[in-house]
Structure 1
Amino acid sequence: MPTIPDNLRVYAVGDIHGRLDLLTTLHEAIDEDAELHPGPQCIEVYLGDYVDRGPQSASVIDALMERMRTRNAVCLTGNHEDIMLQALTSQEAFADWLRVGGLETVFSYVRPSGTLDQSQLWNEWRTGMRADHVAFLTQLETSYVCGDYLFVHAGLRPGLSLAAQERNDLLWIRREFLDYPHSFGHLVVHGHTPISSPEVLSNRINIDTGAYATGHLTCLVLEGVDRFLIST
């Protein structure tokens, strides 16, 4: 059985996508669980895709930054954070980002008065984008290992060591990873591919339950060989 090292408990959280309401509810549940079961050191791991589609992306980032200040929290990057960073320096990337939910994120930072064309909106958003949020986004890790578990946003390319993985695969891969039936060397905990309920397989666990659309934000709790789920 895959295991977490002694005296540790991990709370792994799936894709949030701008749903501050769900994240707040889940944080309350995590805090309650930690209080009811004291002892182990608690680590929170967030699997990326904090922004886009939902209405409160900027506030979600604030909440995660506060969590990093007050808890032992690890925030990984998702493909949506990657696109958001590219949109800061490229109007073409900005246009691509708007098509995958970026407009909701833009409006969580700025509320333009009147109708703006895309170029004007891009400039207003860049002006309104907070420096501390840019720093947060640029410092996100791509993966995290704890015991027999590996945490990543999208997955791994089969046949390659973690050190040999390409960033693009860690943030974007789907079919080659999802269809692979064998071990990756670690049990991989991931998001990126929305499903109706968590998928627990021998080589991977998917906890992206499409929170922005379903209202279900999922947390996988790991301690020793035990694991269970908390969901909104």
Structure 2
Amino acid sequence: MRTLVIGDIHGAYLPLMQALDRARISPLDTLIFLGDYVDGWSQSPEVIEYLINLRSSYNCIFLRGNHDDLCLNWLNTQQHNSLWLKNGGQSTIEAYKRITQPTLQHHQSFLETLPSYHLDSENRLFVHAGFTNLNGVNFEYFPEMLYWDRTLWEMAMALNPRMSPKDPAYPKRLLIYNEIFIGHTPTTRMGITIPMNAANVWNIDTGAAYKGPVTVMNVETKEFWQSDDAYTFYPNENGRN
């Protein structure tokens, strides 16, 4: 019985399949997906359809990412956000042109139900991006920050690793939860394609939207499994490059 956390996917259906296969997922596992299922590669509808079906046989928790929220807004309004289009949204629009209306509505309903965070019995927080309130996610004044914030990860990265949590100056946000698992900010920005750890924060977004892999990590042991680099599955596409 493992708890497995899965990083950003961004329409990379084939890499997702490979990563889950390499992790040898079991119905006894708990699978926590950190969001950003869409926007990037051409198989966003396939990713969503797979996740919807996966929950019938597996214990799954699907969190909301900023791209999922942007996609949902488009599905609800059909209004085009130019920034979204430039950051993977166009591939999602093109992909959904081949999807039937009932399937599209089914996917829309799925996206509407996504929670913004998950807190488990071990006081481990799972959230797409981060949070800003010093008292934790339950007190966040701006709920959108749970899937947009980058300051939590930036703070953890900048923290002196020799600084004690007992130091009065130690960041309070890092004391609330035993561990925090995030996506959103690709590790490839640091030239790294494996999960990164800073303080008690683990970043599982290994850049599948760009030229990195999809990653699955065991929360307890920190063992991880990865797909091949996502771009190798889609040689005629650009992803979010």
Instruction: Name the TM-score class by shorter chain.
Output: 0.7 to 0.9
Instruction: Measure how far apart 1:11 and its partner are.
Output: 0.7
Q: Percent identity?
A: 30
Matched residue count: 204
1:152 aligns with 2:131: no
1:185 aligns with 2:160: no
Instruction: Measure how far apart 1:161 and its partner are.
Output: 2.1
Which among 20, 29, 38 is matched to residue 27 of structure 1? 20
More helix per residue: 1
Q: How does 1:109-188 map to 2 (within 5 A)?
A: 109-110=96-97, 130-146=104-120, 147-165=122-140, 166-180=142-156, 181=159, 182=171, 183-186=174-177, 187-188=179-180
Distance 2:53 2:77 in 1: 29
Q: Aligned in 2, Cα 1:176/1:190: closer, same or farther, shift over 3 Å? A: closer
Distance 1:191 1:43 in 2: 18
Deviations 1:123-147 (A, max 9, x none): xx99687111011000011111121
Q: Is the 8 A contact 2:26 2:58 kept in 1?
A: no
Q: CA RMSD in A?
A: 2.3
Q: Is the 8 A contact 2:63 2:114 kept in 1?
A: yes
More strand per residue: 1
Distance 2:103 2:53 in 1: 18
Q: How does 1:1-232 map to 2 (within 5 A)?
A: 8-30=1-23, 32=24, 34=26, 41-90=28-77, 92-110=79-97, 130-146=104-120, 147-165=122-140, 166-180=142-156, 181=159, 182=171, 183-186=174-177, 187-195=179-187, 196=192, 197-223=194-220, 226-232=221-227
Mind listing any 5+ residue stretches in structure 1 that lack a counterpart? 1-7, 36-40, 112-124
Which stretches of structure 1, 4 residues or longer, exceed 6 Å deviation after superposition?
Answer: none
TM-score, reference length from structure 2: 0.77
Secondary structure of residue in 2 paired with 1:65: helix
Distance 1:159 1:108 in 2: 40
